[in-house]
Amino acid sequence: MTTLNIDVAIIGAGTAGLRARRAARAQGASTLLIEGGVHGTTCARVGCMPSKLLIAAADAAWHVQHAPRFGVEAAYGAHVNGPAVLRRVQAERDRFVGFVVRDVEALDPSERLEGWARFVGPSALQVGDTRVEAGAVVVATGSTPVVPPALADLGEVMLSNEEVFELPDLPRSVAVIGTGVIGLELGQALHRLGVHVRLFAHNDRLGPLTDPAVAASARRIFSAELQVHLYAPIEAAERVEGGARLHWREAGEPREEVFERVLVAAGRAPSVRRLGLEAAGVAVGERGAVAVDPATHRAGETAVFFAGDVLADRSLLHEAADEGFIAGSNAGALARGLPVEPYQRRAPLAVVFTDPQIALVGQRYADLAGTDFGIGEVDYGDQGRSRVMGRNQGLVRIYGAPDGRLLGAEMCGPAVEHTGHLLAWALQVGMTVTDALRMPFYHPVVEEGIRTALRDLARALGLAGAPEIVKATI
């Protein structure tokens, strides 16, 4: 058996793990990157990049189909070549993955180790025939799809987001189980590419929305385009010729239908099962949840730090990178006898790339329960630029404190990936509602909708008398 002594061992070579490695080395620590699976981050291989490639194809088809509303006749309509769509998705996906794999393979062989790691002590790991003695460990093992028990025996008919992009052609029909981010994005994209799609949820939630008004608007919009079945958990499923027959209830009545494929998007669970965290003194809760200090990413007083999707908290690439930095910096410090330091996180920002898009900024409506706050809103149904583009639907609500500070927003509307960024930046620099209203707004742009919501919020907070243009000081 080989024994390696290292300052910081990092389990997982995804976004969080690679960032943790760089941060630990910046502290002067030696590092070992351990990976038991394929290289190439979740985002590049099975997440944000291939899904956006599929969505881009769906957007192209949608624009052709809806060109007549602008007086533009598409003589032959939109013909979707499924194999060609997926070939482009796979080729571009492989290009993004290649960049990550190349960076990992460029590391000195002594700085990386392939195999599945398991704790055998507070900061000791067993990887195959190699024992790793580390000063600190960063766990960045990501997450795995959750499969509802009723669907467990469907075999290759069942897909997750980790498998859907490997298909050689678009299926004729798909049942999407779950209306979270993955289910909504992929369900709408497949529908717009000509696939017969039904979405199923055990509750009435769409995406990450918690504001009842914004959620209600989103339900109306998406239900008008897609076959969305809320409060309709799948009760049974069996393999049949041509796919799988699913059984559910609607208004108390039993329903069934055969689908060529079943896409499971019912959530993801932390990948910690094979780690043996109890040997490191780390408590593991329900579904693999691990508690860490959000400012240091350390698990209690152990020598173990966590970052990325394994925390099942902010499962987003930019958050994983920030968490990797915090965990890696502190693991490197601890291994070298330096104090573990708290770090300040950036303003929360999440985007769902549906049409219309969904975005959450800062504190959500649910986070503000029991506090005193005001709400300003804009309905995009009659917003100028949105009507020009034929994308005039959705509701945005912005939250503010009684003293005028911006707190957060929940958004469903056109281009909220951009307006959400503006609000996130405003929040991070500590702008008040009045400060934000003093920023420039061009005409005609969708950002004017945010000004409408901010003016509404100013009225709700009693700030409507503050001038948007102030006198110059000499």
Q: How confident is the model at residue 45 (pLDDT cuts 50, 70, 90)?
A: low
Domain that holds residue 59: 2-144+269-335
**pLDDT value at position 312?**
78
Which tokens go with 136? 């600190």
* 473, part of any domain: no
Instruction: Give kind and range of the element (H or E) at residue 173.
Output: strand 173-177
pLDDT single digits (tens) 358-393? 999 999 999 999 999 999 999 999 899 999 999 999
CB 413 within 8 A of CB 360: no
> 136-145, 285-294, 400-409: lowest mean pLDDT where?
285-294
End position of a domain, from candidates 266, 300, 324:
266
| Full-model pTM | 0.94
What's the number of domains the chain is made of?
3
Contact 290, 284 (CB under 8 A): yes
Question: Distances in Å between the alpha carbon of 80 and those of 91, 165, 167, 170, 399?
Answer: 18, 16, 15, 9, 42
Average pLDDT over residues 100-129: 91
144 compared with 138, residue with greater pLDDT: 138
Query: What's the mean per-residue pLDDT of the chain?
Result: 93
Tokens describing residue 293: 């200090």
* 162: pLDDT strictly greater than 90: no
Q: Do residues 262 and 274 share a domain? A: no
125, two tokens: 């790991």
Which of 302, 335, 368 is the endpoint of a domain? 335
pLDDT of 41 reads 64
The answer as to whether 470 is a domain residue is no
Residues 27 and 130 in one domain: yes
Same domain, residue pair 385 and 245: no
Q: 178 with 138, same domain?
A: no
Give yes or no for residue 47 having a pLDDT over 80: no
pLDDT (0 to 100) of residue 78: 79
Between the CA of residue 45 and those of 82, 89, 99, 352, what are the distances in Å?
A: 20, 11, 11, 18
Residue 31 and residue 109 in one domain: yes
CA dihedral 269, 271, 275, 280 (to 10 degrees): -60
pLDDT range class, residue 175, cuts 50, 70, 90: very high
Q: What is the pLDDT of residue 419?
A: 97
Is residue 329 located within the same domain as residue 376?
Answer: no
Q: With pLDDT > 90 as the criterion, what percentage of the chain qualifies?
A: 81
In a domain, 166, yes or no: yes
Is residue 67 situated within a structural domain? Answer: yes
pLDDT score, position 182: 94
- Residue that the structure tokens 């209690």 belong to: 300
Tally Cβ neighbours within 10 Å of residue 358. 28
Confidence of residue 44 (pLDDT cuts 50, 70, 90): low
Q: Which has the minimum average pLDDT: 58-67, 186-195, 362-371?
A: 58-67
Nearest Cα neighbor of 432 from 456, 417, 454, 409 is 454
Report pLDDT digits (tens) over 440-472. Answer: 999 999 999 999 999 999 999 999 888 888 888
Helices (H), 68-144: 82-105
- Hey, which of 41-45, 108-112, 164-168, 283-287 has the most confident mean pLDDT? 164-168
Q: Comparing 36-45, 185-194, 195-204, 349-358, which segment has the lowest mean pLDDT?
A: 36-45
In a domain, 469, yes or no: no
Q: Kindly state whether residue 343 falls inside one of the protein's structural domains.
A: no
- Whether 46 shows a pLDDT value over 70: the answer reads no
358 and 321 assigned to the same domain? no
Q: Residue 136 pLDDT more than 80?
A: yes
Q: DSSP E strands: which ranges in 12-147?
A: 31-35, 112-114, 117-119, 124-127, 130-139, 143-145
**Lowest-pLDDT range of 45-59, 205-219, 340-354, 409-423:** 45-59
Tens of pLDDT, residues 63-111? 999 898 899 987 777 799 999 999 999 999 888 888 888 888 888 888 9
pLDDT, tens only, 425-444: 999 999 999 999 999 999 99
Query: Does 277 share its domain with 136?
Result: yes
Helices (H), 134-255: 181-192, 212-225
Q: Is the pLDDT of residue 279 over 90?
A: yes
- The CATH number of the domain holding residue 210 is 3.50.50.60
Residues 118 and 226 both lie in one domain: no
Q: Are residues 258 and 282 in the same domain?
A: no
Taking 90 as the threshold, does the pLDDT of residue 48 lie above it? no
Can you tell me the distance from the alpha carbon of 28 to that of 434, in angstroms, rounded to the nearest whole number? 45
Last residue of a domain, one of 251, 266, 281: 266
In a domain, 328, yes or no: yes
More confident residue, 316 or 298: 298
Nearest C-alpha neighbor of 355 from the set 41, 15, 48, 62:
62
Asked whether the predicted pLDDT for residue 203 surpasses 80, the reply is: yes
Is 90 exceeded by the pLDDT of residue 140?
A: yes
Residues 6 and 52 reside in one and the same domain: yes
**Number of neighbouring beta carbons within 10 Å of residue 438:** 14
Task: Examine the pLDDT at 40 and tell me if it is beyond 80.
Answer: no
The percent of residues above 70 in pLDDT, for the chain, comes to: 99
If we measure between CA atoms, which residue out of 351, 312, 313, 358 comes closest to residue 146? 312
Query: 111-128 burial string, b = 16+ CB within 10 Å, else e?
Result: ebbeebbbbeeebbbbbe
For residues 26 and 98, membership in a common domain is answered with yes
Please tell me the least confidently modeled range out of 4-18, 97-111, 204-218, 366-380.
Answer: 97-111
Could you tell me if residue 121 is inside a domain? yes
262 pLDDT above the threshold of 70: yes
